[in-house]
Amino acid sequence: MATVNIKGLDKAELLAAFYNNAKPMGMGFLHFDPKPMTREDALKMMEVGDDHARMFPGIRGGRTLYFDYVKGRCLKIDLSGDEMRTDLFDRDYGQGAGEDIIAEVRARTGG
């Protein structure tokens, strides 16, 4: 399991970066929105949650920053702490994909 330190990084920037690097999978094509996510879009998404959280409110037990599928894109990321598992994202997008996104956000934002 790959765990990466994300302390000090803007979580909205991270969410947008993961979303913009993800692709729709399976039945996600039915919900796919090709529009890239901005930081402002990510902030709004962080308030309401992912597709699953909106369909089944209250069953995540406080994991409000866990994003499973967002607009058909498979993310499987939890931004709630200072460390983040990337193995589930990597499973679908390739070994090291999650770490590369975090490094890009860190370099771009100076985090």
Per-residue pLDDT, 63: 54
Looking at the chain, the whole-number percentage of residues with pLDDT higher than 90 is 60
Query: In the chain, how many domains are there?
Result: 1
Residue for token pair 């959280």: 53
pLDDT 10s digits, 49-84: 766 665 555 655 555 788 988 888 999 999 999 999
Tell me the pTM.
0.87
User: What three-state secondary structure class fits 111?
Assistant: coil
Element (H, E) at 47: helix 39-48
Q: Which residue has the higher pLDDT, 99 or 30?
A: 99
Residue 61, exposed/middle/buried by CB under 10 A (0-12, 13-18, 19+)?
Answer: exposed
Per-residue pLDDT, 102: 98
What values do phi and psi take at 70, rounded to 5? -130, 115
Q: Which residues pair with 78 in a beta bridge?
A: 66
Provide the domain limits for residue 26.
Answer: 3-109
pLDDT 10s digits, 10-26: 999 999 999 999 998 87
